[in-house]
Structure 1
Amino acid sequence: MALISLENTITISFSVKDRHASADWFKTMLGFDTIYHADEAGWSELQTNTTGVTIGLGEHTKPAPGNCVPVFGIADLDAARQKLEQAKVKFDGETDVVEGMVKTATFYDPDGNAMMLAQDLTGGA
């Protein structure tokens, strides 16, 4: 049995220079539709052809090439983080909150691979 219970969603997050250009590329090359652009948060999200799987584009002036972080949806991030920390899972700093949008926390597997938990704060999902 798993320590925490994830939702049936995953966002594959990429670090990019221009979210709008990248969204156009994903549309043209792979047929993914833009769900939204949150310009104030530097974030865009695209729907893939797989149910429950989206692509997230985080805008950075110097994105890390090859950087891809799976983001797992979770109903109660604080409770899940507490359980993982008790099991000695390493987190990268504090939980980030964009009020009315999302709460996120980055953590690492034993080999140092980054992953993220995300709790939807929009009230829509």
Structure 2
Amino acid sequence: MNITHTSFVTLPVSDQDRALRFYTDVLGFETVADRDMPQGRWLQVAPAGAQTVFTLSGPDMGGFEPGSARGIMLVTTDVDADCARLAQAGVSVQGPDDLPWGRMASFADPDGNGLMLLTEKEGF
């Protein structure tokens, strides 16, 4: 196998503009691509410097039910501060909780896609 990295993860959303505001304004991601394609709008966001991007796939792209993505893990250096920031923005956050692999919390985007925040335990 010669796989080197993941290019993108698809997050199915019902409203690309609303999702874009959440991922850029609330999570602080950057817009990587925003262009019209024959099959619909190609919209991608990512944390600054990330190698993997998130494609915010609207209903016109087909094939995915908005809110059906689960288990998207975002690594952070300060899960507590990020949870406080999310709560201030009106996002419902579960946790953070101490686990063997680090301190973790979970939340959902406006469509219900499941996201997690993790501050990794040193040496795990």
TM-score (ref. length: structure 1): 0.43
